[in-house]
Structure 1
């Protein structure tokens, strides 16, 4: 058997909590609302639903099946699927590294906002407070000119917690953390949304969300944004679910788990959109203007709209603020844990280092990069550009390449369909192979081309070209190059890995638990 001592989740419920915890987090709250807003509001929901059904859930099932069958990290699982495909796995590991270094700083913001909730220290103008007094954002992107201490120290705290939980392992660390805090987040967030819906002007905000601009659907960038959001928030396209599924027991309902995780994620994203747009409607009504005049763009949406909701509470505002942002911190950490786990698992299996040394070495390097770059006056610019390019030309493109490798080159979709059907209550049919083999790669390929064409016509966010080449294109292309290089490096454990590969080729994943 392959990897006889591999750790396992304590229960299927524990795995589901971790999978949902990875999906439901900051991406639902600080990313989905502004992506929807910038891509046509209500019109965005149509390509988003299409992306969920034609790519999100089918790809989630595929990643579960790959990880569950080969019981390895993303690079080794892809290697056992198709030797050259190991490069895709390392590409996804680099993607996780990039996301982790900027994702952590948003959690640090939430930590500070937990404290700001006492007395609503963001004052009467949360927008000016967030970008000015709190982040102290520079006037233009450039080299690091200084650090913001109020962001640095909570960022260090985030990494101490993350590395500590990962060092405890899958069952004692990741699983236990998600069992406690994810349900708490859902309850608190629902309370906040209900409060937002009672605010004056909430209907105006909801109209901005649900009234579709059908013209936006003709733009390829809107569709690629929908697919990118699905990949980002569902934790697919960058190895997380392959890694998590590799710790499942042999008898696990893969299809049912994917459906639960997928629809739980989308339900929460819709809930987040309702809460944010209700708040925008309230802000617009108070200012006597339209929603588009008061909405802040980019990553500040959640940190401007939600403080406005909290400040409007008739009583217990500080209490609700502390609970909401405190739970947001933990939800973000649960997602960050899954991202860093991909890196740790890949290096741990490839080098043979113990778990704790791997966590300290790899996690420590990731934390150092995060602390050096993002709690700075220019950190928001780096975050915005890195997030855009790693999603548009990292996660989505890696998902496309993986589909092509599995469906067209290796022709293994029937194998993974049989594998999932053997352990799942809901059987996959021809629709699953058609979506992954034809519909998803065709749509992703066209949208990628259209988005690239638009990208070359004008600089993203009107950023200077040198900055985009370094922090944007350099990051996206660099992830591919590094992934290929690492896959070609001869490792000391090559003979051992080759022996495991031969066993994996003849190892039916439906046998009894190890």
Structure 2
């Protein structure tokens, strides 16, 4: 047998925590969270939110750190190999294909969305959208930038494509440089800057007061009231609880195998209990304290509650890319604050997207013996070609279809699978010992029972609910415009084909290793 290539390791613990926090802190913290909170009972939303954080978020965070470090002991940095050592069964590794599938699909469309934030940071400093006076015009500006409609603002896809190329190259340059010289170095630069920019903008928001004294109801105080005043009548609506559960998955980047990959580069006795808790806490500070203090309060202060509600119903992109630029037009040095806002979104995005890519890079290196350079070329070529379908078919629902099956439903399915394999098939006591090995804090024993019984049960409930209420209607093409159906079907064919390719690669890899034994 050939001598195994020595696997990389993190350069420092702080670098690791910043990298995993960067994986978790993404666009959802600053765009999706405030919309979800404002739309689902304000302060009351935080009750189910923190319940799911304690019963699903933190337990799954510890499980994924445990699975990752354990798999890393056997030279595996991706879920197929990890599941194979956790469960000695021929089919176990194929369940791990779902982790590769979810992270790859999300990276494909997320990288393009991420490039919008980089583009808008420069459009802000150049005042390109200044002078557009209403929400519809700003939305038209966004759609023109994306190539979804023709207008006087942009000449087709050219501007957006240039920023996409820059974003793509940056992502794969970081991945090419590896764990300590690439991902860790990025995290040490991007994460402090992200927090600095977010704090600067939050302070500016808090000090705005009432921008227009003739409309005293439109104030920052009322903006915070709108997002945080509890509407307890919403708590009997199951959709609010499901929205809270969904936000926990989005915000902590659970259920996609990225934390597995990062944790696989730990030493066998490195702490994961305190590190996992520190990662989750850092993310919550970014989301609840900073994410909840910028977009919604700012929008209410300038446009009022009724208009903000309408904007929020349009989704995270409308809030982030249409309403926020309107605000920047109205405040002193707005071009500077706009630049900071979109740049912090870019930093949040790129630290998440490189995490999605690392698991696939680890799969190619660990299971096929590829060099870092070869892995970058192979995986980068696939992602580059695949993103073009998202770019050119965006207006036909191609991205939305990928986002639901991989970025929503797929996360819960994979999280349920990994929790069953780790806590039930591998064994709850062995899993508990693995999580607590080298721990610098004592995890309360109650979490043993939460991880074994409550977390999988809640995941199963959420999965079944989404299957019945969303997945089946979406699968049957309900409420999809007829003109979009061919593109939606194309997205499904692409995803099914990619999952089949992953199954084939896993089969080939294990056959290759068996022949060399």
Is the CA contact 2:142–2:322 (under 8 Å) kept in the aligned structure 1? no
Partner Cα distance (2:128, 2:263) in 1 = 43
Match of 1:276 among 295, 307, 318: 295
Q: How does 1:136-285 map to 2 (within 5 A)?
A: 136=144, 148-199=157-208, 200=210, 201-270=219-288, 271-285=290-304
Q: How does 1:482-493 map to 2 (within 5 A)?
A: 484=503, 486-489=505-508, 491-493=510-512
Tell me what 1:406 maps to.
422
Partner Cα distance (2:137, 2:395) in 1 = 16
Partner Cα distance (1:138, 1:152) in 2 = 10
Question: Residue by residue, what CA displacement relative to the aligned partner does 1:207-231 show, whole Å, maximum 9, x if unpaired?
Answer: 2211333343334443333233222
- TM (norm. structure 1) is 0.86
Q: Is residue 480 of structure 2 the alignment partner of residue 463 of structure 1?
A: yes
Partner Cα distance (1:335, 1:12) in 2 = 18
Evaluate the alpha carbon distance shift between residue 261 and residue 479 of structure 1 in structure 2; reply closer, same or farther with a 3 A threshold.
Answer: farther
Evaluate the alpha carbon distance shift between residue 468 and residue 375 of structure 1 in structure 2; reply closer, same or farther with a 3 A threshold.
Answer: closer
Partner Cα distance (2:121, 2:509) in 1 = 47
Match of 1:106 among 113, 121, 143: 113
SS at match of 1:117: helix
SS at match of 1:61: helix
Tell me what 2:463 maps to.
448
Q: How does 1:119-130 map to 2 (within 5 A)?
A: 119-123=126-130, 124-125=132-133, 127-130=135-138
SS at match of 1:6: coil
Is the CA contact 1:204–1:278 (under 8 Å) kept in the aligned structure 2? yes
Match of 1:86 among 76, 86, 93: 93
Question: Residue by residue, what CA displacement relative to the aligned partner does 1:422-454 show, whole Å, maximum 9, x if unpaired?
Answer: 211112343222112111111121222222222
Is the CA contact 1:393–1:476 (under 8 Å) kept in the aligned structure 2? no
Partner Cα distance (2:40, 2:446) in 1 = 29
Question: Residue by residue, what CA displacement relative to the aligned partner does 1:36-90 show, whole Å, maximum 9, x if unpaired?
Answer: 3444443332222112111111111111111112202222111111143222321
Tell me what 1:428 maps to.
443
Q: Is residue 143 of structure 2 the alignment partner of residue 135 of structure 1?
A: yes
SS at match of 2:125: coil
Shift in Å, 1:94: 0.9
Evaluate the alpha carbon distance shift between residue 139 and residue 174 of structure 1 in structure 2; reply closer, same or farther with a 3 A threshold.
Answer: closer
SS at match of 2:96: helix
- Kindly report the root-mean-square deviation, in angstroms, between the aligned alpha carbons of the 2 structures: 2.9
Tell me what 1:330 maps to.
347
Shift in Å, 1:198: 3.1
Evaluate the alpha carbon distance shift between residue 223 and residue 469 of structure 1 in structure 2; reply closer, same or farther with a 3 A threshold.
Answer: farther
Shift in Å, 1:478: 6.7
Shift in Å, 1:491: 4.0
Q: Is residue 308 of structure 2 the alignment partner of residue 303 of structure 1?
A: no
Shift in Å, 1:488: 3.9
SS at match of 2:441: coil
Tell me what 2:125 maps to.
118
Is the CA contact 2:299–2:327 (under 8 Å) kept in the aligned structure 1? no
Evaluate the alpha carbon distance shift between residue 377 and residue 67 of structure 1 in structure 2; reply closer, same or farther with a 3 A threshold.
Answer: closer
Is the CA contact 2:129–2:141 (under 8 Å) kept in the aligned structure 1? no
Q: Is residue 361 of structure 2 the alignment partner of residue 353 of structure 1?
A: no
- TM (norm. structure 2) is 0.86
Partner Cα distance (2:252, 2:490) in 1 = 25
Shift in Å, 1:266: 1.2
Evaluate the alpha carbon distance shift between residue 293 and residue 185 of structure 1 in structure 2; reply closer, same or farther with a 3 A threshold.
Answer: same
Evaluate the alpha carbon distance shift between residue 346 and residue 279 of structure 1 in structure 2; reply closer, same or farther with a 3 A threshold.
Answer: same
Partner Cα distance (1:65, 1:52) in 2 = 18
Tell me what 2:213 maps to.
none
Unaligned runs of 5+ residues in structure 1 are: 141-145, 500-514
Shift in Å, 1:345: 0.9
Evaluate the alpha carbon distance shift between residue 30 and residue 386 of structure 1 in structure 2; reply closer, same or farther with a 3 A threshold.
Answer: farther
Partner Cα distance (2:21, 2:223) in 1 = 28
**Aligned residue pair count:** 488
SS at match of 2:194: helix
Is the CA contact 2:423–2:431 (under 8 Å) kept in the aligned structure 1? no
Partner Cα distance (2:311, 2:5) in 1 = 57
Unaligned runs of 5+ residues in structure 2 are: 150-154, 211-218
SS at match of 1:378: helix
Tell me what 2:52 maps to.
51
SS at match of 1:426: coil
Tell me what 1:20 maps to.
21
Partner Cα distance (1:126, 1:364) in 2 = 40
Partner Cα distance (1:257, 1:422) in 2 = 13
Partner Cα distance (1:317, 1:86) in 2 = 51
Q: Is residue 404 of structure 2 the alignment partner of residue 395 of structure 1?
A: no
Partner Cα distance (1:377, 1:128) in 2 = 22
SS at match of 1:194: helix
Evaluate the alpha carbon distance shift between residue 484 and residue 329 of structure 1 in structure 2; reply closer, same or farther with a 3 A threshold.
Answer: same
